[in-house]
Amino acid sequence: MNASTTGGKRIWLTGASSGIGAALADLLLQQGHRLAVSARNAAALQVLVARYPQQVLALPGDLTDAEQVRAIGQQIGQAWGALDTVILNAGTCEYVDARHFEAAMIERVMRTNLFATSHCIEAALPLLRQGDKSHLVGVASSVTFLPLPRAEAYGASKTAMRYLFEALRIDLAAEDIAVTLVSPGFVDTPLTRGNDFPMPMRWPVDKAAQYIVRRLPAQPYEIAFPTPFIAALKLLASLPTGLQLALGKRMARSSNQDSHV
């Protein structure tokens, strides 16, 4: 059975159990697409199966484990034969305390945000090559536009992800596989609710998901939001390094004060 038979796309969505991923899953399923959904939380994925039994393929697993990801890809191939869209949304965030720098933290965040994404790309590309108007989508972050205090691990992982996808865009162009980066600002999710600093222009998760879903059909190079926040980050990134450092030091002091309130 192919996409044209059902009128919807065959989509693999990772990180589908909560936050932006869960909101994206609901919207895409409401539009009639078929979703293969992956996350560690198998119970949350089964909720989607119960609500959309004819549309959802639940494939839980640890995406940092290459063998598990390979098995997920094989299950998708056996069920559908191809993928039209892959949305790699799974990720994590930990904040660095430079006074007690922990290299293991960098490794943990890189493993989830970069290496797991790479495993998924490896599994997805053969299926995308058989798809219709194939589209590879990666959820990065607006942090890639400007270095921010305590974001060394998260920012490094998402910046590496940005380079990976932008280079893949060039290499996959000959195969007509479009590549889109999603760069959200602050979104109200279980992950960001643990932040101990101000989050300007924070969007509700449903608003963020709707913004992304409306733009996916055009297969743009990037989906970044909120627009004023992104513009401000890019403007600050154009400042001389000394001014960026002065601003960052003020932000770091403010963050340290907030964390002790």
Which amino acid, residue 95?
Y
The three state secondary structure string of 86-134 is EEECCCCCCCCCHHHCCHHHHHHHHHHHHHHHHHHHHHHHHHHCCCCCC
Residue 77 structure tokens: 């191939």
Q: How confident is the model at residue 202 (pLDDT cuts 50, 70, 90)?
A: confident
| CA dihedral (39, 41, 46, 52) positive or negative | negative
Bond before 190 cis per omega within 30 degrees: no
Q: Let me know: does 215 contact 171? Beta carbons within 8 Å.
A: no
Average the pLDDT over 220-225 and give the result: 98
Q: How confident is the model at residue 251 (pLDDT cuts 50, 70, 90)?
A: confident
Q: Alpha helix locations (H) across the chain? A: 3-6, 19-30, 42-51, 66-80, 103-110, 116-128, 152-172, 205-215, 227-237, 241-258
**pLDDT tens, position by position, 68-101:** 999 999 999 999 999 999 999 999 989 889 999 9
**pLDDT tens, position by position, 171-195:** 999 999 999 999 999 888 776 666 6
In this prediction, residue 86 carries a pLDDT of: 98
In this prediction, residue 221 carries a pLDDT of: 98
Backbone angles phi, psi at 211, to 5 degrees: -60, -45
Q: Alpha-carbon distance 88 to 66, whole Å?
A: 15
In the beta sheet, which residues pair with residue 87? 13, 137
To which H or E segment does residue 36 belong?
strand 34-38
Average the pLDDT over 3-29 and give the result: 87
Q: Let me know: does 174 contact 185? Beta carbons within 8 Å.
A: no
Backbone angles phi, psi at 158, to 5 degrees: -75, -30
In the beta sheet, which residues pair with residue 120? none
Q: Alpha-carbon distance 37 to 126, whole Å?
A: 18
The closest alpha carbon to 92, from 72, 73, 122, 114, belongs to 114
pLDDT, mean over the chain: 91
**pLDDT tens, position by position, 89-146:** 999 989 889 999 999 999 999 999 999 999 999 999 999 999 999 999 999 999 999 9
The closest alpha carbon to 85, from 137, 50, 40, belongs to 137
Backbone angles phi, psi at 143, to 5 degrees: -65, -20
**pLDDT tens, position by position, 19-76:** 999 999 999 999 999 999 999 999 999 999 999 999 999 999 999 999 999 999 999 9
In this prediction, residue 247 carries a pLDDT of: 86
- Whether 148 has a pLDDT exceeding 70, the answer reads yes
The closest alpha carbon to 83, from 71, 91, 74, belongs to 74
- Whether 257 has a pLDDT exceeding 80, the answer reads no
Q: Which domains can be identified in the chain, with CATH numbers? A: 3-258 (3.40.50.720)
pTM of the model: 0.91
Output DSSP code: residue 218: G
